[in-house]
Each structure stands twice: as structure tokens, then as C-alpha cells.
Amino acid sequence: MSMIEEEKNPFSVMFLINVAGAEKRILDEIKKQIKTWKREFKRLLHMREQKIRKEWKQCLIVYDLKELHKKDYSEIAAIVYPLEKNDYPDYPITKKVRKNYDRAYQLIQGDYKRYIPEIALSAI
């Protein structure tokens, strides 16, 4: 893996190592840092996965209401986000619903693949 690829990879960590110390101590510290970063990456991935699941669920609900039930965006806004204000002049929830619909359409058209590890995609 080249240096450029490593910098673009969100799972890469670069270390600055003082090689003047004892080799065993250096290796022990590297192992300790790797364990720490793996835990952190796992935590961040879990948080990202939870956020994506919630976002996708909302997007797909909006898409189904629009496509299957022929609801307009303002009706969908009242169904999906009943407690949020959708007032004139901005109609922020209607805008949110439009974005959800567009996002669902992108996902359905194949954008979901960018969230799947390459190893899993090779099996599809």
C-alpha cells in the first residue's frame, strides 16, 4: 500500500517512532496503540452504522409513501415527522422529505454499494 493510499484510508494510522529506545519497548507500545486504535475504529464504525440505518430507514419510508401511496411531500412530512414544525415560508420538513426521497432513489440505483466492504461486493 502506498503512502497516498494510506492517507486516504480512514483505517490508517501513522506513527512517529523514536527508534532510540529498546526494541521490545517500542514493539510493545506499537501493539498497545494498534489495540487502542482498533477499539476506536470499531466504536466509530458502530456509530456510523447506526446513523446510516436510521437515515436509510427514513429515506426508504419516504420513498415508499411517495411511490406506492402517491402522497405529496407535505403529506409525507406530516406522517413521517409529525412533531416537527413545517411552517411557511421555508417548509423545512418538506425540504427534508424531498432530500430523503432523493437519497432513497440514489441508494436504490446502487449507491448503497459504496457502504459495503469490497470483499462483500465481490460475492454479489
User: Which three cell numbers, joined as nine digits, stand for 100?
Assistant: 430523503
Alpha-carbon span 68 to 28, nearest angstrom:
58
- CA-closest candidate to residue 92, choices 106, 69, 107, 73: 73
What pTM, to 2 d.p., does this model score? 0.60
pLDDT in 10s for each residue of the chain, 124 residues:
444 455 566 677 787 888 888 999 999 998 998 899 888 888 888 888 888 888 999 999 999 999 999 889 999 999 999 999 999 999 999 999 999 999 999 999 988 887 776 655 565 5
Count of domains for the chain: 1
Q: Provide the 8-state DSSP code for 84.
A: S
Q: Cα–Cα distance between 46 and 74 in angstroms, integer?
A: 33
Measured distance CA(119)–CA(23) in Å, rounded: 35
Could you give phi then psi for residue 8, rounded to 5 degrees?
Answer: -80, -25
Look-up of cell digits 527508534: 19
Domain span at residue 25? 3-121
